[in-house]
Amino acid sequence: MIRLSNVSKTYGSGPSAVSALKNVDLHVPHGSIHGVIGLSGAGKSTLIRCVNMLERPSAGRVEVDGQDLTALPNDRLNQARHRIGMIFQHFNLLASRTVYRNVALPLELMHMKSAAIRERVEPLLELVGLTDKADQYPAQLSGGQKQRVAIARALASRPKVLLCDEATSALDPQTTRSILELLQDINRKLGLTILLITHEMEVVKSICHRVGLISDGELVEEADVGDFFTAPATRLGREFLNAFLQLEPPKGLIDRLEETPGPRTHPVVRLAFRGDAVSTPLISRLARESGVDVSILQAKVESIQDRTLGLMIAELIGTADKTDEALAYLERHDLHVEVLGHVQRDA
């Protein structure tokens, strides 16, 4: 539904040029919810604005619903944009218009008749739960209600794609959840393809099917959300995950971690369990069968949509032979094992 091929974007020129996107390839299939996460300044807004040509890419191709937008002249581009809705962090409503007239605006611009506009706007207000607020002004609404108006407005032209630029970043956690549920509902009911960018792992965890990680203008990894939360492929991905899970070895231990094993060290590991492994008593079996002692430093269980993920940081205490055997045992049982380092055994 959305396909970016080798898209680059440079702002300005000469020595002050900023290379905001570098050779980005991205495919979002029809009906999916795709997240792109990254730190501030990574190029997220530039990426999403290139999808509807609010920013023209400096190079590369942008296709939406089979149409190459980069090849379209401006008048045809305006037509094509009706197929792409967008919502923003700060809602961007018109203060002088009521809720009803904010939602009607794109249809007025398309010169639709007022009866036809009413036929579109009323069900949309119902969909977002704001039928009783139709005659109120944005200033009378909460942040969550304003975003609901923006969503209804974005859907007015019956788009195939909805772009969300940090749509929940200005909202409190509870309101965030309700807006994410609404987006999920719209995705399911209308089959709408959603591309959202965010700096919040919670957003990705709650509703995305796949996620891309953007760093300094480059898409550095892409994965199904379950895989990303189990074992991110990049260091930045692991930093995002660890900050989100708050699952780090104790500070005192981090300072003692050495990269390479020595004659009197033992490994500290991060284990991620999925599926059946979550409910199997692997750790006690491991201790029994391989003869190592397992000292659990931290553990938690997370629900990632309909899946359960167990995470643990543990020290494996035993001779090198036995700890090697223990690591092999864990890997055989489908655990994701990451050796964080090695610590000296107490004398």
Which residues sit at the interface with ligand ADP, rule CB under 6 A? 11-12, 18, 20, 38, 40-46
- CB contact at 8 A, 225 and 211: yes
Q: Which is nearer to ligand ADP, 48 or 314 (CB)?
A: 48
Nearest to 297 by CA among 328, 266, 326, 325: 266
Which partner in ligand ADP, Mg ion, none is near 265 (CB below 5 to 8 A by kind)? none
Shortest Å, Cβ 55 to ligand ADP = 8
Q: In what helix (H) or strand (E) does residue 62 lie, and over which residues does it extend?
A: strand 59-64
Stretch of residues binding Mg ion (CB under 5 A), selected from 28-36, 45-53, 116-124, 239-247: 45-53
- Phi, psi torsion values for 309, nearest 5 degrees: -130, 125
Shortest Å, Cβ 240 to ligand ADP = 13
For residue 161, which amino acid is it? Answer: V
Q: Which is nearer to ligand ADP, 169 or 298 (CB)?
A: 169
3-state secondary structure of 13: coil
Shortest Å, Cβ 11 to ligand ADP = 3
Which partner in ligand ADP, Mg ion, none is near 206 (CB below 5 to 8 A by kind)? none
The helices-and-strands tally (H runs, E runs) of the chain is 12, 14
3-state secondary structure of 182: helix
Nearest to 60 by CA among 21, 86, 29, 30: 21
Residue 45, interface with Mg ion (CB under 5 A)? yes
Q: Which is nearer to ligand ADP, 47 or 64 (CB)?
A: 47
- Look at strands 307-317 and 265-274 and give their pairing: antiparallel
Shortest Å, Cβ 23 to ligand ADP = 15
Q: How far apart are CA 213 and CA 198, in angstroms?
A: 10
Q: Which is nearer to ligand ADP, 117 or 167 (CB)?
A: 167
Write out the binding residues for Mg ion, residues 104-123 only, by CB under 5 A.
none
Which partner in ligand ADP, Mg ion, none is near 18 (CB below 5 to 8 A by kind)? ligand ADP
Token pair, residue 334, equals: 């489908």
Shortest Å, Cβ 149 to ligand ADP = 23
Q: How far apart are CA 259 and CA 267, in angstroms?
A: 10
Q: Which is nearer to ligand ADP, 107 or 220 (CB)?
A: 220
Shortest Å, Cβ 169 to ligand ADP = 10
Shortest Å, Cβ 17 to ligand ADP = 9
Q: How far apart are CA 320 and CA 211, in angstroms?
A: 38
State the CB neighbour count (10 A cutoff) for residue 201: 19
Q: Which is nearer to ligand ADP, 17 or 328 (CB)?
A: 17
Q: How far apart are CA 284 and CA 156, in angstroms?
A: 57
Stretch of residues binding Mg ion (CB under 5 A), selected from 41-49, 145-153, 249-257, 307-315: 41-49
Instruction: Please give the residue ranges that form the binding site for Mg ion (CB under 5 A).
Output: 44-45
